[in-house]
Chain A
Amino acid sequence: MIRKTVILSVLVLIGLLLLSVTLLPQSESKPYSKATPQLTLLTNTKQFTAGNPINLKFKGVKIEGTTLLLKSSYATLLVEPQVKCDTISFTTPEFFNRKTGTVSWSVIVYNKPQLKGTFEIIPQQETARIENYLGPRSTPVGDGHYTMMVAIPEDKYGNPMPDSTATTISNQFLGRISNYNLPTEHFISWKRLYAPEKSGKMLTSVTCQNAETKETETDIFPAPPVPFTISYTRNHAFADGNQLTTFKTSTLRDKFNNIVSDGTMVYFVVTTEKGTKLKSFGATVYGMAEAKFPAPEHEATYTVKAYVTGMAESKSISINYKAVPAVIPYSFDTDKRIITVGEVTSFMGQIAPEGTTVTASLYAADKHIATLTEYTEKGFVTFKLPKEEYPEKKYRLEISAFGKTIEGEIEPNEGVKKKQINVNGEE
């Protein structure tokens, strides 16, 4: 707000000043209004080195209103003259001297150019630093993939060195150091560094005269993997629903025999006999991926195949799980409203692992009523058949665990009292 008013008042003041200028008597400007001065250039130099002072000298009488107009790709500016006897000289400002390029000049008297010419500012002899770019910063191996180094040698003012300045682009890969001597062209020198067939890290740098860059690096990543094999390990072959099977790939390598990048995702697809597709996942570490899978709770044959999607797959392997020779005894309470199944045992006659699934299917007059699922605790499970939910007089039972099913019957009473009647559930 305040700034605006200040600006406004300054503008008004300037306006007033300009107005007052027009009111000045005209006569004062008359003596030099029409005279054309005779100027000759004294300075012979056509080239100046960046950073050095530039002075253009002319012979002639100084007349007011004489200025030097300079134009270059960097700036356009007017320079006021300095007068010494019969010479007029123009000194360009320091910032202007620092940028290279062709400069065209003209001496202007009363808005009319009198003399014209050009000179050139050339970079300094010494290369002070190198601007360099490397990209991409990672690339796959071989197959014509490359990373490119671009270097621009510059003098201390950041002016690119003249064409054909000798630069050396170097790269290091696996103990081999290559140097490429490249003269600059259009101010730059560049080199495509083709990816080798081995993965690793490529270091690059550029030197030019006395200047060097720091090292820049590109990761050479392995190509996609080629077909591989898988294997599995497990503690035992029984389908106890508890132990884990570990799937493992061989070392995944690309076509150049590089080990694929860590973290490469491998999908293990498990196909059951029924055609159900199950899945486990692994990411490679040093080329090998591992995934785990729990054993089924019943006899089964799994077909396992691993994929790196779109790139490679393994041959399928098949894994057999043997049936657990289970024993499933069960009993009822007096009212036959609680079924206790147990002790369910596993392949060595040991108590089935905690959480083993036991299902009880109930049928009344061959109509499926319900399937109850419980999980063993210390080998036992209980199924409760409360009167309000199971009003029928008689049910047929199918109890299964570890893929084995036994059948039975239950005739629930009215109330619930606790007294065990043992029923032999063994075959």
Chain B
Amino acid sequence: MRETTNKYLIAALLIGVVFHSALIFFTLENTYDALIHLFFGNHYANNWFESWNYSWYTGFTVMGYPPLVHQAIGLLSYIGGLKFGLFTVAIIAIILFITGVFRFTLIITGNRTVAGYASLIAVFSSSFVETLHIFGQLPSIVGISILMHALPEIYLWIRTGRKHYLFTSLSLIAVTVTSHHVTPIFGMVFFIFPLLGMAVMDTARDKVNSYKEITLKLFIQTVFSRLKRIIIFGGCSLVLIVFCILPYWINSKQNPITQVPIPHGSRDNFLEVTSSGLVFFLIPWGILLFLLPYIFYRYYSKRYIFFGLSLTLLTVLGTGGTTPIPLKMLGETAFNILTLDRFTLWASIISLPIAGEFVYRLAEGDLKKALQQRFGTVYTRIISGIFAGAFLSFALFTISLGYFRPFQPPKINMLPIVNFLNQDQHDKWRFLPLGFGDQMAFLSTKTKAMTVDGNYHSARRLPELTSRAVERLENSKFRGMEGIGSLQQFLTVPEKYNLKYVFSNDKFYDPILYFCGWHRLTQLENGIMVWEKLNVQPLPKVLPKEEAALPLRLMWGIIPLLTVLIAFMLNIQMIWLQALKIKVLPRPDFFKFGVLYSGYPRKIMVISKLWTFFLIGVTLWGVYKLYIYTADQISPENVVRAYYNDLDFKRFEKAHSLIVPDEDYPLSQYLLEISVSDGIINSYGKMDAIKLDVPYETKNTAIVKAKTKWITPLEIITKEYTHRVKKLKGKWFIVPEKKDPDIPPDQFFSENITKYYNHGRRRVTTQQTHHEDVLKQPVLEILSAKLIEYNGEYMVIGEIQNIDNVPADVVINASLYNNSDEKLASYNAKYVTKHKLMPKEVTPYRINFENVAWLDSESVKPETFNPDEYTPLDVAETPTDFEIQSAGNVAIKDLYNGVAISNLFFKGDTIQGKLFNYGLEEVTVPELLVSYYDENKELLYIDHEFIREGVRIQRSQRFTYQLKDLSKLKSLHSSLENCFVNGLRNKEIARSEITARIDGHEKKELQAIAGKGYSYIKIEVNNYIGNPQ
């Protein structure tokens, strides 16, 4: 019999290709992974046989990820550019997936119509849609699709023993291996083992009349009869898995993942973290959840029993941290390395054939008949319609997820950044993008400049990155303080990484950049702010490289595409014949085992119904719970929670609607008040947690205490607010807080200030800056330097003055030495100093020594955040001496000094004071630098405090400062002996600039105070301006 073309498959392919191809142009570039694959593609396009890539993480090996998909992108990029390559590979993946599902269903059901239905469902399967359009995991899709294509060949090899099938199946396995390493390994367990079981079962079936007659004995006998084929296939595929990506295995052995486990949503408890539950459980399963009883019923029939077991296992593993089972099954290590969402993906793919079967039965099979008989035609149509509608709308919902809740910042025009890097030799330094999302990978494909960051975490080499569970420096913000910890280390000692430029797409990072001594350079036309650090050396001409051996690189470059070529040659004849139906082909074995769909089991119908009702019930209950939790004004807690959520997301109009309606307090007034309040929380804070407490409540009034926790770029801030709430007409409202009514005395101000400008080079040329244009480094003088031990930490403190006539950017680096003059540690001054000094300005400084605790990867996994949590250096020996290297460079910005300390009250251990901003710039984050002195006016300690509210122009701001207890502080060594300024000895350079100096002048006006371990203090202010005029 000549076969007719399967119209469902054709329809699925047409719809699938058009639907997904049209969509990927809008979705793919916003996915999590696609641009990473693009970056790798770019790597291969430029250096096919190169294993080392300098662009990220100070260099990493690309042998950490199977290369086929990347190489395919690279190869196609020669035709139409990188993005052409990406999209083409994506379209190929779509076709492979749809046809793969078709062939997989064919061996499962042995029915071409059912397979056609299954391929149609595959097009809109929410797990596929999510993997492609939200995660962008192309290699994963290609891997699983090719694996599905291999399944019929494997089945036929076991059944017929024809060598042809062995070769075709192995060739496809090889392609799978080279495109995604995890797929074939787990695919062996979850797809191929059940398939082998089914093949054996079918062989056993041949010997008897029905599946029921197959006994365990017979089954085992059959296994032995087929054992040779199974072993041949298993052995060969194992060899292929090892051989095809041998460089990968060698690399993972040489560079084991020392990375602290990165939190991944798929490991969460989905009931607690509902967003993870949605993304990693509900969406991949989608409407298939409703079919689960049927799917399990079918898979637990004798023929499919192994698939049933596999599906059960996958379903359970896919639940992540919701149940303790996955953790126990995988063990601690595997659980923390693997992303568990792939199990759900596979589970949903295994379910597809049965779902296809169900739809077939519903659309034209026995289920339809049964339903029509029992409930009538109309009911059946409505049910089918609802089912189809739900299925389609769920797919659309999944795709649109990225549109309504963007995972990435809006698309950034990279051209200005690329131009900036190419200009003026800016690419001689490393850069760091902040707030770019995964688009940083795209930036890296466009420039030859290198970044310390990167987007492929398994390849990370810098200890700062591996020791902390932050995925990228770039998204530090979303990991809270721990991430910032990693970032601030890079910003504090950028010299170590030749890091000179930061591209900031998020003003959130501005304060940390400022307080680490960076300054704004320019705003590019795409809105990206460029920050620069002075005194950073350019990259050396020759960079270290760990290149793989030549044979490995050859293997890596040749084998993947070769596997595709071989697989193509081996399979092309079959595909050709099958597609064009030129010749009548022998019907493959599996068609014998198709089930006749006669009579839909009644029990299953009932169970399905109950299950559906149960799911709908659960959904409704969830929605109700969500309503009770989020409904804004139904309780005192809710109104306060809603208010802070609105403030956090800057929905001020809605926030105002929660305030007691008052004609005298209109929205415009509220918005005005919001717009003039500046400060670290108002401008940079992101609410992390809110805990509500109602200490007092009557029927219509209550007091709500809100303990809020804000993540700011500088520290975690916990702040308690007390709100009075009122019930009016059944709704709760917040009684508004009074604002400071202070009004400046004058309306109009003028001020004379000195402004500075420094030409880069006066002549426009690409040559290196001519010596004429190099400014002399401003001379600094270190006034005091001291090594202290406080709270078990060693610190170097002191004071430094810019004694030159031009403003100076100050970099202070201190090193600790032991008795035998061995260096123990070295670090830069971070927050506790002013980095930019006017001529003759003095600043205190404190240098803490931070550790890069990377060897000890177990210990550095803090469960909770601590604002001051950084990694103090564990100095094994007692440092006895220290050295300070300071460097001045001409600064022209961030020199604002217009904030006076206008009032101070001392009350026990606290100081209450007032800052007054008499200048013409609004100070967003004022920082107090408090120096402590002993009774002899010798410096003891320097402390800092970020004041949470900004100081507006011509207005004052109150602050409270908690004085330290220094009774346990130990002064170890005080000396100006090994202090250097611009590479010269401190004293010599200072005395040559200023021949006579009034000694101890800086200690003349200290505030006497009776403190714990100190007698005097001095307060200075460091002003961060968020929006310079």
- Spell out A's residues near B (CB within 8 Å): 1, 133, 135-138, 140, 143, 145, 216, 219, 221-224, 242-244, 260-265, 267, 269, 271, 275-285, 290-294, 296, 305, 307-313, 353-355, 374-377, 388
Q: Which residue of A lies closest to B701 (CB)?
A: A386
Q: Which residues of B contact A137 (CB under 8 A)?
A: 774-776
Q: Which residue of B lies closest to A280 (CB)?
A: B900
Instruction: Render B679-718 as a binary contact track against A, CB cut-off 8 A, 1 for contact.
Output: 0000000000000000110000001000000000000000
- Asked if B1013 is an interface residue, CB under 8 A from chain A, the answer is no
Q: Which residues of A contact B138 (CB under 8 A)?
A: none
Q: Which residues of A contact B662 (CB under 8 A)?
A: none
- Asked if B333 is an interface residue, CB under 8 A from chain A, the answer is no
| CB-based contact B904/A310 at 8 Å | no
In the complex, chain B residues 847-901 whose Cβ is within 8 Å of any chain A Cβ? 895, 897-901
- Asked if B1027 is an interface residue, CB under 8 A from chain A, the answer is no
Also in contact, A265 and B897, with CB within 8 A (given A133-B771, A294-B956, A310-B803): yes
Q: Which residue of A lies closest to B837 (CB)?
A: A265
Determine the interface band of chain B, counting residues with CB < 8 A from chain A.
35 or more
Also in contact, A279 and B900, with CB within 8 A (given A263-B839, A293-B918, A375-B742): yes
Q: Which residue of A lies closest to B807 (CB)?
A: A263
Q: Which residues of A contact B550 (CB under 8 A)?
A: 1
Q: In the complex the two chains form, what is the Cα distance from A281 to B898 in whole Å?
A: 7
Q: Which residues of A contact B801 (CB under 8 A)?
A: 309-310
- Asked if B998 is an interface residue, CB under 8 A from chain A, the answer is yes
**Distance in Å: Cβ of A158 to nearest Cβ of chain B:** 17
Also in contact, A290 and B752, with CB within 8 A (given A138-B805, A265-B841): yes
**Distance in Å: Cβ of B726 to nearest Cβ of chain A:** 13
| CB-based contact A278/B743 at 8 Å | no
Q: Which residues of B contact A279 (CB under 8 A)?
A: 900-901, 1019-1020
| CB-based contact A277/B998 at 8 Å | no
| CB-based contact B916/A293 at 8 Å | yes
| CB-based contact B783/A281 at 8 Å | no
Q: Which residue of A lies closest to B1002 (CB)?
A: A309
| CB-based contact A309/B842 at 8 Å | yes
In the complex, chain B residues 983-999 whose Cβ is within 8 Å of any chain A Cβ? 992-995, 997-998
Q: Which residue of A lies closest to B1007 (CB)?
A: A277
Q: In the complex the two chains form, what is the Cα distance from A221 to B778 in whole Å?
A: 12
Instruction: Render B707-749 as a binary contact track against A, CB cut-off 8 A, 1 for contact.
Output: 0000000000000000000000000000000101111011000
Q: Of residues B753, B783, B840, B901, which shows the largest number of chain A Cβ atoms within 10 Å of its Cβ?
A: B840
Pairs A–B under 8 Å by Cβ, sample size 11: A138-B806, A224-B994, A244-B745, A262-B754, A263-B806, A263-B807, A276-B1007, A277-B1007, A279-B1019, A280-B900, A309-B842
| CB-based contact B807/A305 at 8 Å | no
Also in contact, A281 and B897, with CB within 8 A (given A263-B754, A293-B902, A309-B1001): yes
| CB-based contact A138/B995 at 8 Å | no
Q: Of residues B738, B741, B956, which shows the largest number of chain A Cβ atoms within 10 Å of its Cβ?
A: B741
| CB-based contact A294/B916 at 8 Å | yes
Q: In the complex the two chains form, what is the Cα distance from A143 to B991 in whole Å?
A: 11
- Asked if B772 is an interface residue, CB under 8 A from chain A, the answer is yes
Which 10 pairs show the lowest CB-CB distances between chains A and B?
Answer: A355-B742, A292-B918, A280-B900, A261-B805, A221-B805, A354-B743, A265-B841, A262-B754, A263-B754, A269-B1005
**Distance in Å: Cβ of A1 to nearest Cβ of chain B:** 5
**Distance in Å: Cβ of B584 to nearest Cβ of chain A:** 50
Q: In the complex the two chains form, what is the Cα distance from A310 to B743 in whole Å?
A: 38
Also in contact, A1 and B553, with CB within 8 A (given A264-B838, A388-B703): yes
Q: In the complex the two chains form, what is the Cα distance from A293 to B902 in whole Å?
A: 7
Q: In the complex the two chains form, what is the Cα distance from A137 to B771 in whole Å?
A: 10
Q: Which residue of B lies closest to A240 (CB)?
A: B745
| CB-based contact B838/A263 at 8 Å | yes
Q: Which residues of B contact A305 (CB under 8 A)?
A: 1005
| CB-based contact A278/B840 at 8 Å | no
| CB-based contact B997/A311 at 8 Å | yes
Instruction: Render B795-830 as a binary contact track against A, CB cut-off 8 A, 1 for contact.
Output: 000000101111100000000000000000000000
Q: In the complex the two chains form, what is the Cα distance from A1 to B753 in whole Å?
A: 61
Q: In the complex the two chains form, what is the Cα distance from A63 to B7 in whole Å?
A: 92
Q: Which residues of A contact B274 (CB under 8 A)?
A: none
**Distance in Å: Cβ of B1000 to nearest Cβ of chain A:** 9
**Distance in Å: Cβ of A202 to nearest Cβ of chain B:** 14
Q: In the complex the two chains form, what is the Cα distance from A102 to B746 in whole Å?
A: 80
- Spell out B's residues near A (CB within 8 Å): 49, 550, 553-554, 695-696, 703, 738, 740-743, 745-746, 752-754, 756, 771-772, 774-776, 781, 783, 801, 803-807, 837-842, 895, 897-904, 906, 916, 918, 956, 992-995, 997-998, 1001-1002, 1004-1008, 1018-1020
Q: Which residues of A contact B837 (CB under 8 A)?
A: 265
**Distance in Å: Cβ of A131 to nearest Cβ of chain B:** 11
Q: SS class of chain A's interface: helix, strand, loop or mixed?
A: strand
Also in contact, A222 and B1001, with CB within 8 A (given A265-B841, A375-B740, A376-B741): no
Q: Which residues of B contact A375 (CB under 8 A)?
A: 740-742
| CB-based contact B775/A277 at 8 Å | no
Q: In the complex the two chains form, what is the Cα distance from A221 to B771 in whole Å?
A: 20
**Distance in Å: Cβ of B233 to nearest Cβ of chain A:** 35
Also in contact, A138 and B839, with CB within 8 A (given A307-B1001, A355-B740): no
Q: A276-B904, A277-B1006 are in contact. List 5 more A-B contacts (CB 8 A).
A: A140-B993, A140-B994, A143-B995, A292-B900, A309-B842
Q: Which residue of A lies closest to B897 (CB)?
A: A281
**Distance in Å: Cβ of A216 to nearest Cβ of chain B:** 6
Q: In the complex the two chains form, what is the Cα distance from A407 to B1001 in whole Å?
A: 46
Also in contact, A311 and B998, with CB within 8 A (given A137-B776, A265-B839): yes
Q: Which residues of A contact B771 (CB under 8 A)?
A: 133
Q: Which residues of B contact A262 (CB under 8 A)?
A: 754
Q: Which residue of B lies closest to A271 (CB)?
A: B1005
Q: Which residues of A contact B897 (CB under 8 A)?
A: 265, 281-283
| CB-based contact A283/B754 at 8 Å | yes
**CB contact between B752 and one of A221, A280, A285 (< 8 Å): that residue:** A285
Q: Which residues of A contact B995 (CB under 8 A)?
A: 143
Q: Which residues of B contact A267 (CB under 8 A)?
A: 1005
Q: In the complex the two chains form, what is the Cα distance from A109 to B253 in whole Å?
A: 61
Q: Of residues B743, B752, B801, B1020, which shows the largest number of chain A Cβ atoms within 10 Å of its Cβ?
A: B752
Q: Which residue of B lies closest to A242 (CB)?
A: B745
Q: In the complex the two chains form, what is the Cα distance from A87 to B837 in whole Å?
A: 76
Q: Which residue of B lies closest to A145 (CB)?
A: B992
**CB contact between B1005 and one of A223, A263, A307 (< 8 Å): that residue:** A307
Q: Which residue of B lies closest to A235 (CB)?
A: B745
**Distance in Å: Cβ of A423 to nearest Cβ of chain B:** 23
Q: Which residues of A contact B554 (CB under 8 A)?
A: 1
**Distance in Å: Cβ of A342 to nearest Cβ of chain B:** 13
| CB-based contact A283/B753 at 8 Å | yes
Q: In the complex the two chains form, what is the Cα distance from A242 to B745 in whole Å?
A: 6
Q: Which residues of A contact B906 (CB under 8 A)?
A: 276
| CB-based contact B1001/A136 at 8 Å | no
Q: In the complex the two chains form, what is the Cα distance from A308 to B841 in whole Å?
A: 8
**Distance in Å: Cβ of A300 to nearest Cβ of chain B:** 11
**Distance in Å: Cβ of A206 to nearest Cβ of chain B:** 14
| CB-based contact B805/A311 at 8 Å | no
Q: In the complex the two chains form, what is the Cα distance from A242 to B746 in whole Å?
A: 10
Q: Which residues of A contact B807 (CB under 8 A)?
A: 263
**Distance in Å: Cβ of A277 to nearest Cβ of chain B:** 4
**Distance in Å: Cβ of A339 to nearest Cβ of chain B:** 15
Q: In the complex the two chains form, what is the Cα distance from A355 to B739 in whole Å?
A: 10
Q: In the complex the two chains form, what is the Cα distance from A374 to B775 in whole Å?
A: 53
Q: In the complex the two chains form, what is the Cα distance from A268 to B772 in whole Å?
A: 38
Q: Which residues of B contact A312 (CB under 8 A)?
A: 998
Q: In the complex the two chains form, what is the Cα distance from A353 to B742 in whole Å?
A: 8
Q: In the complex the two chains form, what is the Cα distance from A260 to B903 in whole Å?
A: 31
| CB-based contact B776/A138 at 8 Å | yes
Also in contact, A388 and B742, with CB within 8 A (given A224-B994, A285-B753, A293-B918): no
Q: Which residues of A contact B746 (CB under 8 A)?
A: 244
Q: In the complex the two chains form, what is the Cα distance from A219 to B776 in whole Å?
A: 10
Q: Which residues of B contact A290 (CB under 8 A)?
A: 752
Q: Which residues of B contact A291 (CB under 8 A)?
A: 900, 918
